[in-house]
């Protein structure tokens, strides 16, 4: 199979921008002409529209998702001396955000099927911790699949900790009919240009139903100001800017259609790859609606697939190559077998709403040919 498929895979950020026609340009023009570039009407409108979309009381825009994690923890007074439990298989940004708040990341293993926190492992890790040290369990809805929120909520509660959510990869994913990012005490979103809801630069948000907490988010994202020029506490500068907020409003209006298309393409992959030996397609737990931020398969011999896929011009990737407890910045002498196995086996096949069926069939042809 030597045919190059490269032309079938337009990069997502560019294709997503183009799919919006002239609307992004019109929105940008509106901001440019407004003369107001930071914390103006666009940010306010996006925060309200996204809160309504999620079904949550308050959304506060931030400069990016990592800052969002820091702000969320600081607003909840989770700082030095506290720990936050998170999955060992996750982007390093999550642990970096926890550290930035001054807290210590403590890891637990993932569920083998869904790549999200394993409740049994969480229970075991919590048992080993000094009472009161772990202040929060941070569930990451990895690849767009909701974590097991019911079990995690109960475990956190029994330990006297709170449940927080990182919904940076799960915009519009549902757990028991409710949007991810609305079930914990607070949640964080990234709108990095590759995300399902994507800005044209860095952007993020924190969300909560608690009006007092939302007010604290607003103060902390702007120098800790309790009123203009008067800092009531230590804050940072992490504001969502007007241009990105305007871009996000255009994209938000298209999120449902984009999610539907992601699911259609995932179904094509599932149907073609489901029965093949040597590869396992994503599992969706009952009661969950996956949004396929990534379409991640497990391969018993990943290199055997990587080589021909790359040779055919298919943009495949490994999310993520090293578990957090094995990374120099966060190293912990622990063994998390499912996370350690995941990094050896996972392979992200291309999936975004602007791909054709032909592109997905082309990937499946290469895989089928290689494994047969
Ligand atoms: C799950 C998760 N959390 C946090 C982040 C950090 O977001 P950002 O890159 O906007 O800082 C990302 C994205 O990189 C992410 O995927």
pLDDT tens per residue across span 54-108: 999 999 999 999 999 999 999 999 999 999 999 999 999 999 999 999 999 999 9
245 to each of 22, 45, 63, 163, 206, how far by Cα in Å?
16, 8, 10, 27, 14
* Atom number of ligand 1 nearest to Cα 68: 11
Q: What is the DSSP letter of 142?
A: G
DSSP 180-212: TTSSSSEEEEE--TTSSS--SS--EEEEES-HH
Strand order in the sheet with 178-179: 178-179, 174-175, 288-289
CA-wise closest residue to 9 among 370, 253, 348: 348
Give the per-residue pLDDT at 3. 78
Low-confidence ranges of the chain (pLDDT < 50): none
Residues forming a β-bridge with 58:
208
Residues forming a β-bridge with 166:
140, 188
CA-wise closest residue to 291 among 101, 180, 144, 183: 144
Give the per-residue pLDDT at 1. 57
Ligand 1 center–CA 96 separation, angstroms: 10
Q: Residue 38: count other Cβ atoms within 10 Å of its Cβ.
A: 13
Question: Topology of domain 255-371, per CATH?
Answer: 3.90.1150
CA distance 179 to 258: 16
Tell me where in the chain the CATH 3.90.1150.10 domain(s) lie: 255-371
Tell me how many degrees the CA angle 173-175-178 measures, rounded to the nearest 5: 85
Ligand 1 center–CA 19 separation, angstroms: 24
Tell me how many degrees the CA angle 12-175-151 measures, rounded to the nearest 5: 125
Candidates 190, 204, 291, 324: which one to mutate for ligand 1, based on the most atoms within 8 Å of Cβ? 190
Candidates 62, 91, 98: which one to mutate for ligand 1, based on the most atoms within 8 Å of Cβ? 91
**Side-chain half-sphere exposure of 361, counting CA atoms within 13 A:** 3
Beta strands in the chain (DSSP E): 58-62, 83-87, 104-108, 134-140, 162-166, 174-175, 178-179, 186-190, 204-208, 225-227, 230-231, 279-280, 288-289, 295-299, 346-349
Please check whether residue 146 is in contact with residue 181, taking contact to mean a CB–CB distance below 8 angstroms. no
Residue with the two structure tokens 């990869």: 169
Ligand 1 center–CA 327 separation, angstroms: 17
Task: State the pairing for strand pair 295-299/346-349.
Answer: antiparallel
Please check whether residue 344 is in contact with residue 255, taking contact to mean a CB–CB distance below 8 angstroms. no
CA-wise closest residue to 91 among 363, 355, 346, 315: 346
Burial class (CB in 10 A: 0-12, 13-18, 19+), 18: exposed
CA-wise closest residue to 138 among 102, 175, 172, 88: 88
Residues in contact with ligand 1 by the CB-under-6-Å rule are 64-66, 91, 93-94, 140, 166, 168-169, 190, 192, 202, 204
* Atom number of ligand 1 nearest to Cα 202: 10
Tell me where in the chain the CATH 3.40.640.10 domain(s) lie: 16-252
| Residue of the CA atom closest to atom 1 of ligand 1 | 168
Ligand 1 center–CA 51 separation, angstroms: 19
Instruction: Give a three-class secondary structure readout of 217-228.
Output: HHHHCECCEEEC
| Residue of the CA atom closest to atom 15 of ligand 1 | 168
Tokens of 214: 């939302």
Ligand 1 center–CA 176 separation, angstroms: 24
Ligand 1 center–CA 1 separation, angstroms: 36
48 to each of 162, 205, 273, 303, how far by Cα in Å?
25, 12, 41, 46
Ligand 1 center–CA 168 separation, angstroms: 6
Please check whether residue 201 is in contact with residue 193, taking contact to mean a CB–CB distance below 8 angstroms. yes
Question: Topology of domain 16-252, per CATH?
Answer: 3.40.640
Give the per-residue pLDDT at 283. 98
Q: Which residues contact 50 (CB under 8 A, 6 or more apart)?
A: 59, 205, 207, 248, 252
Give the per-residue pLDDT at 2. 59
Greatest alpha-carbon pair distance for the chain in Å reads 68
**Whole-prediction pTM:** 0.98
Residue with the two structure tokens 């969706």: 284
């Amino acid at each position: 199979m030597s045919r190059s498929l490269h032309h079938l895979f337009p990069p997502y950020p560019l294709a997503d921008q183009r799919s919006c026609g002239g609307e992004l340009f019109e929105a940008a023009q509106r901001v440019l002409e407004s003369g107001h570039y930071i914390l103006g009407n666009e940010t306010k409108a996006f925060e309200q529209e996204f809160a309504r979309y999620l079904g949550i009381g308050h959304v506060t825009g931030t400069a990016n998702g990592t800052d969002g994690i820091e702000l969320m923890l600081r607003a909840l007074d989770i700082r030095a001396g506290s720990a936050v439990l998170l999955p060992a298989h996750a982007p390093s940004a999550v642990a970096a955000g926890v550290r930035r708040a001054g807290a210590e990341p403590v890891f637990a293993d993932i569920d083998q099927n869904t790549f999200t926190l394993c409740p049994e492992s969480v229970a075991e890790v919590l048992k080993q911790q000094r009472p009161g040290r772990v202040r929060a369990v941070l569930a990451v809805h990895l690849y767009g699949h909701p974590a097991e929120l019911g079990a995690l909520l109960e475990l956190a509660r029994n330990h006297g900790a709170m449940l927080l959510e990182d919904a940076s990869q799960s915009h519009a994913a549902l757990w028991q009919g409710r949007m991810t990012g609305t079930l914990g005490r607070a949640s964080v979103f990234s709108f990095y240009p590759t995300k399902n809801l994507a800005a044209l630069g860095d952007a993020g948000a924190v969300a909560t139903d608690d009006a007092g907490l939302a007010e604290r988010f607003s103060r902390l994202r702007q120098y800790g100001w309790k009123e203009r020029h008067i800092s009531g506490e230590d804050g940072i500068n992490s504001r969502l800017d007007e241009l990105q907020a305007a871009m996000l409003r255009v994209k938000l209006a298209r999120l449902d259609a984009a999610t539907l298309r992601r699911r259609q393409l995932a179904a094509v992959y599932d149907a073609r790859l489901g029965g093949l030996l040597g590869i396992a397609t994503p599992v969706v737990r009952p009661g969950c609606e996956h949004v396929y931020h990534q379409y991640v398969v497990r391969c018993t011999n990943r290199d055997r697939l990587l080589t021909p896929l790359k040779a055919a011009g298919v943009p495949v990737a490994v999310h993520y190559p090293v578990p957090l407890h094995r990374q120099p910045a966060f190293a912990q002498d622990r063994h998390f077998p499912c996370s350690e196995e995941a990094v050896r086996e996972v392979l992200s096949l291309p999936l975004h709403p602007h791909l054709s069926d032909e592109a997905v069939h082309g990937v499946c042809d290469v895989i089928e040919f290689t494994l047969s």
